[in-house]
Amino acid sequence: MAIKKSELYSSLWSGCDELRGGMDASQYKDYVLVLLFIKYVSDKYAGVPFAPITIPEGASFKDMVALKGKPDIGDQINKKIIGPLANANKLSDMPDFNDPGKLGSGQEIVERLTNLIAIFENKALDFSKNRAEGDDILGDAYEYLMRHFATESGKSKGQFYTPAEVSRIMAQIIGIRADHTSNATTVYDPTCGSGSLLLKVGDEAQAKVTLY
């Protein structure tokens, strides 16, 4: 059964509730987004050969669940989950799940991370069969969080990412839909942040263009 976006958004915001108080919204969004990413790619690609994302043995969301309640949970998440995933997929700027300045120390960090992981265990958040044509549920969740984090930080959402409506208009303005594009066509965004503008341009093109 497809995931209801209302259920996804509710779970994500519950995750935010677990982290409030220890850090600014612009910081705790990173932890929630990384948990969402790990849950999504684990559901979609764990054990799948030639998948676009490599999930190393022992570094899936299921393995993260096994760390709940452990006194060194933050350190173990860094070493067993975040590190291997980052190395296997050349990811950078991953948050530190053992940062006492943001997550607390002792029993506080254990409870906070355990509760945060538990939120993503919700059976309603099963991404394994939820890839309807044209439905970018991960992108929608990202934009939902960015919009709410911006509001909490007293900033406009444009200071966090390029809003989808702006990206769609820009993609139409450059006229890529009317162009005779091919797989050899390249699109480059030298100031790429979240990548939403590039993705919308790719959606507008008539062929599968290469994005940089």
Task: Divide the 212 residues of the chain into consecutive groups of 10 and give the mean pLDDT of each group.
Answer: 69 71 67 88 89 93 96 96 95 91 90 88 76 60 73 59 77 83 84 77 83 81
The confidence score (pLDDT) of residue 171 equals 82
The confidence score (pLDDT) of residue 133 equals 42
Give a yes or no: residue 108 inside a domain: yes
The confidence score (pLDDT) of residue 134 equals 47
CATH number at residue 80: 1.20.1260.30
Q: Are 33 and 12 in contact (CB under 8 A)?
A: no
Domain termination site, one of 76, 110, 131: 131
Give a yes or no: residue 140 inside a domain: no
Domain count, the chain: 2
Backbone angles phi, psi at 53, to 5 degrees: -120, 130
Calpha distance 191→204 (Å, rounded): 20
Give a yes or no: residue 25 inside a domain: yes
Give a yes or no: residue 202 inside a domain: yes
The confidence score (pLDDT) of residue 153 equals 59
The confidence score (pLDDT) of residue 155 equals 59
Segments forming the whole domain that contains residue 203: 162-211
| CA angle 61–27–41, rounded 5-degree value | 25
Q: Is residue 26 domain-shared with residue 102, that is, in the same domain?
A: yes
The confidence score (pLDDT) of residue 161 equals 65
